Structure 1
Amino acid sequence: MTPVVVLRPEPGNTRTATSLRALGLEARQVPLFGVVPVDWTPPDPAGFDGLLLTSANAVRHGGAGLDAFKRLPVVAVGAATAAAATKAGFAVAVTGSDDARAVVADARDRGFARLLHLAGRDRRETGDGVEAITVYASDTVPIDPEDARSFEDAIVLVHSVRAAERLAELVDAAGTARHRIALVAISRAVGDAAGHGWRDVTIAPQPTDPAVVALAAAHANTRAIDQRARGGDKHAMSDYVPTDRPRARGPKMGVILALVGLAFVAGLGLMGYAAKKLPWFGGHATTAGTTTAAQKAAAGSSGYIPSQPLGPNGEPQAPAPIDTAVLATREATLAAQLTALETRTATIATDASAAAGQATRAEGLLVAFAARRALDRGVTLGYLEEQLRLRFGQAQPRATTTLIQAARQPVTLEDLRQGLDTIAPDITSTTGDGWLDTIQHQIDSLVVLRKAGTPSTMPADRLARVRRLLEAGQVEAARAEVARLPGANQASNWMEAAGRYVQARHALDVIENAALIGQAGQPQPAPVVMPSAVTETSTVTDESAGSQAAVPKPAGQATGQ
């Protein structure tokens, strides 16, 4: 059977060899290079239209820096590279079927003017408008000259230009005849890089590993048929059977007897030789038994007896040598993959921490908005009171305490409007003064001089402005206008209620800002000192007039004048 030699680095070497063995071929794994990652600094993705990948090694060994380029479309050379990019989360826009220059020209026709090439350390120019950056390196693996001489009468698979060039150097250095080696190249450029003098150079129809494997299998089967034909197997190439058979000429009896005697003597000689040399024929029965006993003793109490490989003559055969270069390459590959996994794990942990912070901020905002809604409706906070303590008690203790106190006796805009209507006659008149002062005030109000554009100072006009301000929710401005009315001293309870309304809204603003900037959290509940409850209803007595004015208040709410 014609052996097939695989030169590509791991992990592709093992995949190709497995595919060959599945087809019944003898595969020899001789990787010429070992791929290792290289530290690199990702450039700004905004300066590129796409990502050029000429090998799946760029995806395997690119590390965490690849995440910054996942928004860029990928221009891949070959279906295997495109599949690796898709598996890594990239969007493949162009897949080439020849070499890097051809796929770059195709990508330029499709509008990709500037490409970032994630390449190996040893690479070829791919054309204008392509900026290359090294993310991995293919280091050479030492090859014994005997391995190079073993390539004779074999089919060698070449997957890269660099592998073709090194194969030619190794074969020439070892003195191996090129004309006894058949090459199967993945592309025309790879075949040209190998040079001349080979028995034959076959180019795969597509630049893919399955196409190379299928071509190698067909080549090996063709050689097997040719060898059988040259060995005299006439039926290997033709099924013709002659109809006229020649008459057989039988030998004489004496010749037959002589042959039988010679065969008998030869059989006796072979039996004697076997009795002396072969261990299973009695000559070394004791030794074999001793070896078996030693194996049983070495096996211990487990009862397991390891089987030893036997050579052609039945003697134990030495185990196959371990290729340290292949082991080192696999170890480097596994280390790179572990590093990539650790980087992804750290990224996921960072994203999870950020998501937890955003969730805490959103929960704090929801609590603040719910508290504002409760105050606007004039209802108690209920379970929101405990949530305010837990989330804002340490970050904003004063605002939290003010808000909880205001929620115990909430004041709404409707309460303030109704209270204003109740005390309106008292705060717009001067009934508390004497009759002479009242007459004087009436005379003074007959003619009022003020600058154009300034609001009227008449009590009725001020009261109208207070109502408009309350309708707009501007309680603090309405409170200032009430303080300028002639009977402002009759509205002390209303002014107090309006002040509590303003303080509660200021505290809500502080808590909402704390939630927005991320101060809301889940600390241990801190004790909040609450003052004594305020009386549910209060009245204002007009001592001079002997009358009372009360602010209407729903059950469970405070009043003010």
Structure 2
Amino acid sequence: MTRMVVVLRPEPGATRTATALRAHGLAVRQVPLFAVVPVDWTPPTPTGFDGLLLTSANAVRHGGAGLDLFKRLPVVAVGAATAAAAAEAGFAVAVTGDDDARAVVAAARDRGFARLLHLAGRERAPTEDGVEAVTVYAGDAVAVAADVVRSFDDALVLVHSARAATRLAELVDDAGADRARIALIAISRAVGDAAGTGWAAIAIAAAPTDSAIVALAAAHADTRAIDQRTRGGDKHAMSDYVPTDRPRARGPKMGVILALIGLAFVAGLGLMGYAVRTLPWFANLQASSAASTAAAQKLAASSSGYIPSQPLGPDGQPQANPPVDTTVLATREATLAAQLTALEARAAAITTDASAAGGQATRAEGLMVAFAVRRALDRGVGLGYLEEQLRLRFGQAQPRATTLLIQTARQPVTLEDLRQGLDTIAPDITTSTGEGWLDTIQHQIDSLVVLRKAGTPSPMPTDRLARARRLLEAGQVEAARAEVARLPGAAQAGNWMAAARRYVVARQALDVIENTALIGQAGQPQPAPVVIPAPVIVTPAPDPAGGV
């Protein structure tokens, strides 16, 4: 008897699981306990994060337009299904974990992702240090009638989450149903523990995936596969094998069979000998064979000593071999030499093309590393694994620029930082703090009338500050720095000037790195050399008695 299989997970996962179960020929009933809905959320600033942590594909489905702000962040995904949904939505998946969020976060930190943004559901486990969670979706409980819960008797119920297991136990108890008549298949040990005890049986999937739980349900949908002696809630009951077929009856012994075969063989030999002696057909066959043998011997005796090595002429005499044409041989030799020369030229061309292709590939890889470093600096995040690539490819050709970029990336400065810093110090740098009130009045009187040539920028502090802000918006940090240096309170902008200087120097180093990659001087990453220690030669101490 095949049992009914009940799927409790919300859509669209419920339909996928039900389709996979029906492919095994099972009767399936979908009773979602929750409905996933989007939640209004305010996206944080992406520049403060190294990556995006996704523990469910629902974050991609219900994140809305706010996800577009994080398309440039690498994704750290839990599960292949979540990684596939992120890749389909246009994200770049950097790390994929098969266990849980804690394990994949540890793997991401090993690869340089220090701070992660977790797009999560409303009901979630506490986040770890360095992980900031933002709620983008929620699983609202769906009302389930008591008669529907009581219909779960003698069915297999698939449980995909600990929350669903807890609510199922509550619904069964509230409806007055008997747990001992309901068998569960849990996606993990934690989910099985959340369901509690008292069930007919609890089976745990081999892996925390939907395909594993479907395979386990297909293997145990037959009620005969459950040991009736373990209905007290054993979580291994469904995996125990209980033989249901009777053992086959033993056949005849092997010794008797071998004896019968031997007797049949001996009887066949006797019948064959009798037929050879008595039947005339065998006598004619022997005579024909003897005649053929004699004819062959006679032909061999008459033709002994003759070896047909040359063709025969009309008179039966061997013909002489035709004369060798040296001109034809020379022509063939010249043709073969020309073909060999063409093959050598083609091989040389292929070698040249392969070398050129290798150089172009090295150049392209160097440019990709340089562009990735520029992007990381513009976003204000650490280099991570790019630091090692930068050192391996450009450390020998441009050691100073490489060291400068690595040091700058550990304390990056972005245009947004410079803009905010300039806005902060604007009141201090537009006025001189060292002047008295009399000097201030004198400056105000002097600035009432200003004469300058047409086309000359205004020297007023407010105008200079406005020009500095416009230059920052255009990315011209060096020009903005020069405008700030001419303001009356430039002495108060020392930290800002130093940060702007670091930004300019880092971009100059980036230009050097990119030019190095363009002209093909970037090297391939080489494995670390194997250092073989020198043998240690122990010199014996001299013998005090005079020996060696």
Question: TM (normalized to structure 2)?
Answer: 0.41
Which of the two has higher C-alpha Rg? 1
